[in-house]
Amino acid sequence: APNPFRFEIVNSGVDQLVGINKTKFGEKALLLNNKYGTNDPCYHDREINKMRKRFKVTAENRELTVWYAAVLENALVPIHINNQPFFSITCDLAPLSNLCFDAAILPCEQNYVDSCNFDPIDVVNWTCHRIKIPESEIGNIATIEISAADCGLGCHFGYAYIDGFCESCQGSAQGYGE
């Protein structure tokens, strides 16, 4: 089982650190991972937390969206290359729709303050990601995995809010990325 506060259903409101809404649709969303460590609030334990959703693919659900907001502390020192906090959405039946990015890729660092001293933080406010499962997979079971991870050295955090599977996504969306 995950550590406390690593997989949490949150009520609507505002994220106290970065000021984004915790929900996109309705009153509840999933908080995956956390800005605080489990033993020491300012040490992040190198955690990665993942949620899975399995479903039978039909003609109606083979193209779907997932809404998310991601918050990643950006490690600025060179030893964090390939050890940055990251966020990922994968679907085993639609690998061309996978999305994965780490804090080093995002060019939107801002400084935020609370009881811990943080490096600059990247915030991806609510956006949707499209998953397109090929028609040939109708009738099979698909597995979507969504991960949020702290840095590999245990110094920086990554967390995400997940809301709105299959909600409307007008205009542009995050697509394939590595």
What would the pLDDT profile of 94-109 be if each residue is shown by its tens digit?
999 999 998 888 877 8
Report the predicted TM-score, pTM, of the whole model to 2 decimal places.
0.86
Closest CA to 165 of 15, 30, 21: 30
Alpha-carbon gap, residue 132 to 97, rounded angstroms: 6
Q: What is the pLDDT of residue 57?
A: 96
Ramachandran assignment for 83, one of left (phi > 0), alpha (psi -120 to 50 degrees), beta (any other): alpha
Q: What is the pLDDT of residue 175?
A: 46
Tallying the residues shown for the chain, one arrives at 178
Can you tell me which residue has the tokens 């039909």?
58
User: For every residue of 94-143, which 3-state class applies, written as one string?
Assistant: CHHHCEEEECCCCCCCECCCCCCCCCCEEEEEEEEEEEECCHHHCCCEEE
Q: State which residues of the chain have pLDDT below 50.
A: 1, 175-178
Q: What is the pLDDT of residue 5?
A: 64
Q: What is the pLDDT of residue 112?
A: 78
Q: What is the pLDDT of residue 176?
A: 37
